[in-house]
Structures are given as structure tokens and as C-alpha cells.
Amino acid sequence: MCGNEAMSESAIQAGCDAYFGYPITPQNEVTAYMSKRMAEEGRVFIQSESELAAINMVFGASATGKRSMTSSSSPGISLMQEGISYLAAAELPCVIVNVMRGGPGLGNIAPSQGDYFQAVKGGGHGDYHCIVFGPSGVQEFVDVMPLAFDLADIYRIPVMILADGILGQMMEPVTIPKNSKLKTKNSKLPKKDWALTGAEGRKQNIVRSLWLADGVVEQHNYDLQAKYRQIGKNEIRCEQYKVDSADIVVVAYGIAARIVRGAVDKARQQGIKVGLIRPITLWPFPSEQISKAAEELRIFLVVEMSCGQMVEDVRLAVAGKSPVVFWGRPGGGIPTVEQVFEQIRELTIKPKKK
Amino acid sequence: MMQKVFTRPQTLKDCPTHYCPGCGHGIAHRLIAEVIDELGIRGKTIGIAPVGCAVLAYDYLDVDMVEVAHGRAPAVATGMKRTNPDKIIFSYQGDGDLAAIGTAEIIHAAHRAEQFTVIFINNAVFGMTGGQMAPTTMLGQITATTQEGRTPASHGYPLQVSELLAILPGAIYIERCALSGVPQIRNAKKALRHAFELQMNNAKGLSLVELLSPCPTYWRLSPPDAMLWIQNEMTKVFPLGKLKG
């Protein structure tokens, strides 16, 4: 199974009631897989007429309390931004998978990490966030799906999985958890008493994002921010690899982190003290973990498949306590272990005195 | 003892509306509320409010409702109905929402034979944003963005969405009615009732009722003259009657 298919099956096992999507490379295996499997499960699959429609179908299903998802790749995710802003405003849970490709524009169909800003800073209009995961292997791509659906329900928030063309296309042996719609952190999933189910025997429910009265949207924003702070307290996930004794700390996420890990191992074999911090949640960002690592004077090297996006969040976290260096390849360029190793090695060379 | 023979429908809330004097939305809301009451479907109906003057329709219609992005109601309705086939789903959309920004969504909802009901308010103008040209604006009609009147050369022709949709096999019932007089309004109610009944009977396809609706404010007419303008002018371009089903 490729990553796209394995992730899709994991979503089904996590109780996804409805999938809506529009074909775009490199995530077409998702729509094909879902069209077959969702029908087998008696659930809903629709190939929509556009990504605009897909995200609004998600909105509709989610507003009635159903677990729903969509997937796309970079240009299609751009089209969805309107809907994602509305989902965030109306506090509707859903899962959105972005199998990133090279951009900007139509770009290419090669793997990339150029959509980090769009994913973690909001992306659409207004002050909002989605929870964003950046899995770095097919197993993690699979494992994150039930968690994404649970967190979406618990916090009433859109959750985005930021994958890339390699993760989507790569085949690895995986274990897909069965019937994984469970409780997260022992807390029961909240009752969806806000959902539109027909107002039988109760007052009407309204799902909305417009409030014209003075100050109501301002207050709504404060409430959203309070929720985001709560998520920031509870949901940060991050892996640290050989950081304790390291002089150099590489920060990377997703498939880039997988490549960096290889370079770290190679550098360690040659006696270079280097470690890896790998954010698993990109929003909320593991700022505290990075800040803590920066308390000792170290060099931070941020490696991304972009021109440097996450590096801004790393700099904010490091806050001048240590130097932060960036290296990356945009537009579908894939870093090799050798290239990353070379970047690490260069950082060990002391600058020549003038 | 005196008997009460006429009252407010339960589904219509007892509150003043924000609509202008002579506006058709109030009539349309009341008809929808009456039909929901008469069919006894309040407990399983979900409505979709548009972006436009009727964005606050949920303040007047006492059913579960959602407010969605401009033009996207047919996609939202698709997501709702497919996951809740036992519910009665309707979208309430103006001519900007349905005939301009949301043309892709409505055409593909019809083309997929989605089983919800669209209530299409055609008043030939954008009301909420200040009276700009709509795709359904009449030739010669003066609006904020056609200050010398709409001309085919500059602005194209009035768009007949119902006729466009009627040729699609997935649209099973399309009727154009008017809110311009008592007989027309009674007919509009019949059409709305039929559309909801199709859903209740699990009929396989989209139902749409277009309502020619007065906008005295941006037509710069008195309410009675606005009613006459529908009957004498609008119906020439948007003829009343059943287009399908």
C-alpha cells in the first residue's frame, strides 16, 4: 500500500463517514481508494466538481455532526482556503490532507514543503488556526488519522495533515489500527449537541460565522484564541533525536526530517555531535522544546523542502539565544542525505580569522 | 365563540424582520414556514441561508439552519443530504448567490441528481451590497453598476438559470413562480410544497423553485409598482410556469 492508500484506510477505520475530493496529483490514490472502500462500507464518497465544492461538502456533512474529510494537493488546497476559514469560524471539525507538491502556481508534481506558511498561519482570511500534523513516514501518516479525527471533534476545529508527494506515493509496511475511533487521552469525545439534525423536540441549532452586532465577532475571536491556547498547552507533539549531547541541532519535519535523520546518523559516525528536533505538530509548534534546546549555545540548522518557512518559527522560538541557519531545496527539489550531511559538516568548520 | 382561522405559522418566529418595506423575502419565508408546518417536517428539516439580504433567514425560520459561503450552498447541501438522506434539506439562494458566484455548484448539484430543494429568489439585483447588477438584471435596468441601464454589449443578457438547469436529467422538478400577487403567491406555495414532498418521497433528483421577488428599494419603485413590474416586465424574460417535472 502506498501512503495515500494506507492513510485512506486509516481514516475509514477512524470512522470517517464521508469523503469529498477532486483529483489532483500526487494524491489521486486517495480518491480512487475512497471511491471503492467508502461504497463497500456504505458510507459517502463524492468526486466533487472542484476543491471549492469539496471543502463545502465537508462543511455540510460536518455541520450535521458527521466525521468528514477531504484531501488534495497544494493548488487545490489554495482553492479550499475560503471553506477552511468558514469551518474554523463556525468551529466545525474535519480533516484535510494536503499531499504537497512543488509551487507556486501549477508548479510541478514533485514532493515539496512549500505550503507550511499557508497551513500553520491560517491560510484563509481572518485570525484562525488549524491543528497541523507533519508526519514523516507512512506509519505515522496512518497513525495520525484517528488522532486527527478525535482532536477535530474534541476541539471543534479543522485538522490538517501536511504530507508531501513522497509520503503519498511511498510504499512501506504498515499496521493500520482497526476501529480506531476511540478516546484521546482518556477523555470521552464530546457530544455534538450543536449539530444540525433537525430541531425535533428542541430549539433550533444554527451553525454560523456572521454576527453583525457590535463586538460579537471580536468576542468570538477571543474565544477562538482561548481555545487555541488550550490546544497549545495540550497537543504539542515533537520528537527529539540525539539532542542532549549535540552541538548542532537540526530542525526538520515530514519527509525532510527522515532524510535529516540519515544525515545525523552519518555525522555521528564521524564524531560530529549533532541531533534532530522533529516537530510532529506544526501547529501548535513545539516552541518550548526548541527554546529549551537553545538555552545551551548551539547552532540550529533548519532543513526544509522550501525556501525557508518553518525557519521563521524556529527563529521565534530560539529568540536570538543561538544562531539559526537555513538550508533547503524548493520547487520539488529533494535533499539527499549527502547534501544535508555536507551542511552539517560545514557548520563544524571554524571560520578563518581575518 | 370566535374561532381563530388565521395565525402565524409555528416555524415562522414572532419578530420583526430587517427587510425593506415591500421586499419579497418576508413572503417567501412565510410560505416556507407554512409548508414546513403543513407537512409536519420541522423536526427533520435543515435550511441553508445564503450570503445576501436573507443571510439572517435563521432569525425568522425556526428550523436548524446553517449559513455558508457565497454561492456554495448546493455543495453544502450535497454534504448534508448524502450523509443524512432522511432529512429534508433546502437552500435559500438569491440571484447573486445562485446565478453568479455559485453557478458551478448549482449546475453540478443538479447534474449529480442531488436530492435537495433549492429556493431561488430572483429579484434581478444585488440587494445586500447596494443594488448592483445581477446576472438576472433586465436589459435597460438601472443599477449601481449599470447606471445607464444594462446593455447586451457591455453586460450581456439576463441569465435564465432555471431554463439552463431544466435540460439536465438530474433536475427532476423546476418551476418558476412569482410573489407579485395573491394567485401567484398561492401558486408559489403549491410549488414549494411539491418540492418538499418530492424529498419526502425520496424522489431521485434536484428540485428548484424560482421565485420572482420584488426589491422596491433597488428598483426605485413603490411596493405596488414593484409587483406590477414583475408581472409586466420580468415575466417577459422569466416566464412563469413549470419548466420540468
Annotated domain spans of chain A: 3-169, 239-348
Residue A48 contacts residue A56 (beta carbons within 8 Å): no
Closest among B125, B9, B104 to B60, alpha carbons compared: B9
Kindly report, residue by residue over A155-211, the tens digit of the pLDDT: 999 999 999 999 999 999 999 998 887 655 556 789 999 999 999 999 999 999 999
Among the partner residues B56, B62, B66, nearest to A63 by beta-carbon distance: B66
Using the predicted structure, report yes or no on whether residue A17 has a pLDDT greater than 60: yes
Calculate how close chain B gets to A67, using CA atoms only, in Å.
10
Write down the pLDDT at residue A187: 64
Going along chain B from its start, the domains and CATH numbers come out as: 25-244 (3.40.50.970)
Half-sphere exposure of B64 (CA within 13 A, CB side): 26
Look at B64 and A66 and tell me if their CB atoms are within 8 Å. Answer: no
Q: Which residues from A are below 8 Å from B43, CB to CB?
A: 198-201
Write down the pLDDT at residue B139: 98
Distance of CA A17 to the CA centre of its chain: 21
CATH number (3.30.450.40, 3.40.50.920, 3.40.50.11890, 3.30.830.10) of A239-348 reads: 3.40.50.920
Q: Is the pTM of this model over 0.80?
A: yes
**Alpha carbons B13 and B195: distance in angstroms, whole number:** 23
Structure-block grid coordinates of residue B170: 438530474
Half-sphere exposure of B24 (CA within 13 A, CB side): 34
With pLDDT > 90 as the criterion, what percentage of chain A qualifies?
94
**CATH architecture observed for domain A3-169:** 3-Layer(aba) Sandwich (3.40)
Q: Does B68 touch chain A (CB under 8 A)?
A: yes
Calculate how close chain B gets to A242, using CA atoms only, in Å.
47
Residue A72 contacts residue A54 (beta carbons within 8 Å): yes
Q: Does A201 touch chain B (CB under 8 A)?
A: yes
Per-residue pLDDT of chain B (245 residues; tens, 9 = 90+): 788 888 999 999 999 999 999 999 999 999 999 999 999 999 999 999 999 999 999 999 999 999 999 999 999 999 999 999 999 999 999 999 999 999 999 999 999 999 999 999 999 999 999 999 999 999 999 999 999 999 999 999 999 999 999 999 999 999 999 999 999 999 999 999 999 999 999 999 999 999 999 999 999 999 999 999 999 999 999 999 999 99
Q: Does B112 touch chain A (CB under 8 A)?
A: yes
- Starting at the edge strand found earlier in the chain, the sheet holding B88-94 runs A206-207, B64-67, B45-49, B88-94, B117-122, B206-212, B171-178, B241-244
Q: Does B69 touch chain A (CB under 8 A)?
A: yes
Write down the pLDDT at residue A349: 85
Using the predicted structure, report yes or no on whether residue A107 has a pLDDT greater than 80: yes
- Chain A's closest residue to B49, CA to CA, is A208
Q: Please state whether the peptide bond connecting residue B21 to the residue before it is cis, i.e. omega within 30 degrees of 0.
A: no
Write down the pLDDT at residue A181: 78
Q: What average pLDDT does chain A have? A: 96
Write down the pLDDT at residue A183: 54
A353 pLDDT band (50/70/90 cuts)? Answer: low
Look at A57 and B62 and tell me if their CB atoms are within 8 Å. Answer: no
**Alpha carbons B58 and B75: distance in angstroms, whole number:** 19
Kindly report, residue by residue over A241-288, the tens digit of the pLDDT: 999 999 999 999 999 999 999 999 999 999 999 999 999 999 999 999
With pLDDT > 70 as the criterion, what percentage of chain A qualifies?
97
Residue A43 contacts residue A14 (beta carbons within 8 Å): no
The residue written with cell numbers 494524491 in the block is A27
Write down the pLDDT at residue A180: 83
Kindly report, residue by residue over A33-83, the tens digit of the pLDDT: 999 999 999 999 999 999 999 999 999 999 999 999 999 999 999 999 999
